[in-house]
Chains A and B, each alone.
Chain A
């Protein structure tokens, strides 16, 4: 009985010591998983997930702190990809899914306060103090972060219109006609 306890204890100590030593000796900085998760996220930096940007959210997912369904711009598609990568269950999105949007500044109303410029995470708004501002369409990620700070409410979000450049062939769908019953 005593030998058994001794031997198991000895084994546990030896293995524990080896593991502890290895965890210090072979410590690796950074988590490669974060990069993979970040590659899936849409990089809008909108903070709708509750984290200040896509990278912090990716880190939180990798740590297991955050759920995978907190990214509305990524949509269900993004949730599915994350679930695939992490081997987790696909969950319905935590918020409603919106089409991709674009911020538009009503240039008649803009007073040039630069607040939206400070809010934009990707520097997609140009302008200077007391000058009219405008959104660089090709750079806007549709994060809505500029909408709130505007003191005169001159920024609105509009879904991106379908143009010839971004038009897509539709999934072939065919009408199913009810089979005619023999009279």
Chain B
């Protein structure tokens, strides 16, 4: 059990997908202007990442490994993830308009996101089994959402601040992200007790 706990804490805090691994920066900078869109994006990413890790594990172990085609991993992962996400988006749109309103416009945005591709590849690199892969995927996504929401909260406030003119807009956001990244480095200290 502690094994899973370590995976979760490691993925959420110590090796945060955005601030430490520097993956998924486009939505991190792009969809963090408002708190509610950040929530939507976070929820969508959590959903997609969990589905993507599961699907890519199945592809990797049932299709690629038996035929010795590991070198096609990146390509096949991208295709599979994109297709699965598109499929689920359509199903959600038809069956649950409410959920689609929350996740809707963000789902297609992240189908080919680097975080979504990176996490399944990390799973393979870490030699996780199916359950571990799912837990790692979900935890990474939770880490992503948390950071995104924190960042959106900060940006909403910075919007009202008297930022010096040359720093307005993306520049101050970058500075903020850098400071957040520095702060998350502190969690590396947790590693000692692993």
Q: What is the CB-to-nearest-CB distance from B28 to chain A, in angstroms, rounded to a whole number?
A: 14
Q: Does A138 contact B (CB under 8 A)?
A: no
Evaluate contact between B104 and A32: CB separation under 8 angstroms: yes
Q: Which residues of A contact B31 (CB under 8 A)?
A: 87
Q: With the chains together, A7 CA to B80 CA distance in Å?
A: 13
Chain B interface, >50% SS class: helix
Q: Does B22 contact A (CB under 8 A)?
A: no
Q: With the chains together, A11 CA to B81 CA distance in Å?
A: 12
The closest CB in chain B to the CB of A18 belongs to: B87
Taking a contact as CB atoms closer than 8 A, the residue among B59, B87, B97 that contacts A19 in the complex is B87
Q: Which residues of B contact A22 (CB under 8 A)?
A: 86-87, 90-91
Evaluate contact between B87 and A8: CB separation under 8 angstroms: no
Evaluate contact between A19 and B83: CB separation under 8 angstroms: yes
Q: Which residues of A contact B72 (CB under 8 A)?
A: 4, 7-8
Q: Does B171 contact A (CB under 8 A)?
A: no
Q: Which residues of A contact B69 (CB under 8 A)?
A: 3-4, 7
Q: What is the CB-to-nearest-CB distance from B99 to chain A, in angstroms, rounded to a whole number?
A: 13
Evaluate contact between A8 and B76: CB separation under 8 angstroms: yes
Q: With the chains together, A87 CA to B87 CA distance in Å?
A: 24
Q: With the chains together, A18 CA to B69 CA distance in Å?
A: 23
Q: Does B176 contact A (CB under 8 A)?
A: no
Q: Does B75 contact A (CB under 8 A)?
A: yes
Evaluate contact between A4 and B67: CB separation under 8 angstroms: yes
Evaluate contact between B93 and A26: CB separation under 8 angstroms: yes
Known: A3-B67, A7-B63, A12-B79. A32 touches B87 (CB 8 A): no
Q: Does A183 contact B (CB under 8 A)?
A: no
Evaluate contact between A26 and B90: CB separation under 8 angstroms: yes
Evaluate contact between A87 and B93: CB separation under 8 angstroms: no
B positions within 8 Å CB-CB of A: 30-31, 33-34, 59, 63-64, 67, 69, 72, 75-76, 79-80, 83, 86-87, 90-91, 93-95, 97, 101, 104-105
Given contacts A4-B69, A8-B75, 10 further A-B pairs with CB under 8 A are: A4-B72, A7-B69, A11-B76, A15-B83, A18-B83, A18-B87, A22-B87, A32-B104, A33-B105, A87-B30
